[in-house]
Structure 1
């Protein structure tokens, strides 16, 4: 297993798992599991975490990276939005979450420098992420479908042609982490 230098983290959006308050205990569980997983990658040479700025798992992952920087100052956070003005139509609280992680990030850009026009921008974004990361860490369980399923299918197809690691954190993993 080669060392992963860049890890893309994604998974359920907050509404998909019913976590609407920042103090929801589910968020603490997810962040603890993400932290443990990311430390495992750090111990083998991880340098970058990439997220797309989606609410839920990706925001929580960015917050975990910010915490980990105390012990791993070399760790970098990149936010790669699918398109320009991503999240601009969100409510104030959600936009505040995006602004907060942008302040924590070492790099912020978007794959498409146009505002949202078509699903092709999302496809281009997925392709970019797959080509610029060595692995993906997904808080996702195939038994509980969500939007992450689209990324997972593309990642699985990509991994058939290129060396690409996909690590799923399932509902059982989250449950077991609390015991």
Structure 2
């Protein structure tokens, strides 16, 4: 039973997405939504994200969409950043998007309660997330390396010590959703 899931994945630039109206985004969100609904039917209560651009903020939007349905209105979102002020170097549009996500979050905190210092803060965030969750839902394709590799490896290491579920959404999954859309 999955009570708490961490959702992460590619940053927009890692997959060639540079605008909020990119045609891939609805399919990424649909793939996340399908997985979340399966977990909700099995007792999911919390979604954890670090508030990173791309997959994580799209996942937050999916959580908010699901909460609008009465049957899923109990679903909660925690935004736990690796360090304080992670958005400080983002452009204004991305900061506004991030702030809009924080407005509806049920819990907000940082693993390291200081601004960015070194990469250890990302490793600490990955460790924290895997320790505090039952499952990792990751938009990551093993054929295309990127930043999700690090939390994926942390989750794989956790599986050696405890029962821990990893669910991957890959490019083939998105292609299937596109094809289903074209057929209907």
TM range (shorter): over 0.9
| 1:163 aligned partner | 163
| 1:111 aligned partner | 111
Aligned residues: 177
Over aligned residue pairs, what C-alpha RMSD do you find? 0.8
Q: Comparing both structures, which one devotes a greater share of its residues to helix?
A: 2
Task: State the alpha-carbon separation in 1 of the partners of residues 144 and 124 from structure 2.
Answer: 26
Instruction: Check if 1:120 corresponds to 2:124.
Output: no
Residues 22-171 of structure 1 mapped to structure 2, 5 A cutoff = 22-71=20-69, 72-171=72-171
TM-score (norm 1): 0.97
| 2:182 aligned partner | none
Shift of 1:120: 1.6
SS at match of 2:16: coil
Task: State the alpha-carbon separation in 2 of the partners of residues 122 and 146 from structure 1.
Answer: 14
SS at match of 2:79: strand
TM-score (norm 2): 0.94
Task: State the alpha-carbon separation in 1 of the partners of residues 15 and 6 from structure 2.
Answer: 20
Post-superposition Cα deviations, 1:20-61, rounded to whole Å, max 9, x if no partner, equal 111111001100111111000000000001111111000100
Task: State the alpha-carbon separation in 1 of the partners of residues 126 and 8 from structure 2.
Answer: 11
Answer whether contact 1:13 1:56 (CA < 8 A) is retained: yes
Task: State the alpha-carbon separation in 2 of the partners of residues 117 and 20 from structure 1.
Answer: 27
Shift of 1:159: 1.1
Task: State the alpha-carbon separation in 2 of the partners of residues 145 and 118 from structure 1.
Answer: 22
Task: State the alpha-carbon separation in 2 of the partners of residues 162 and 124 from structure 1.
Answer: 18
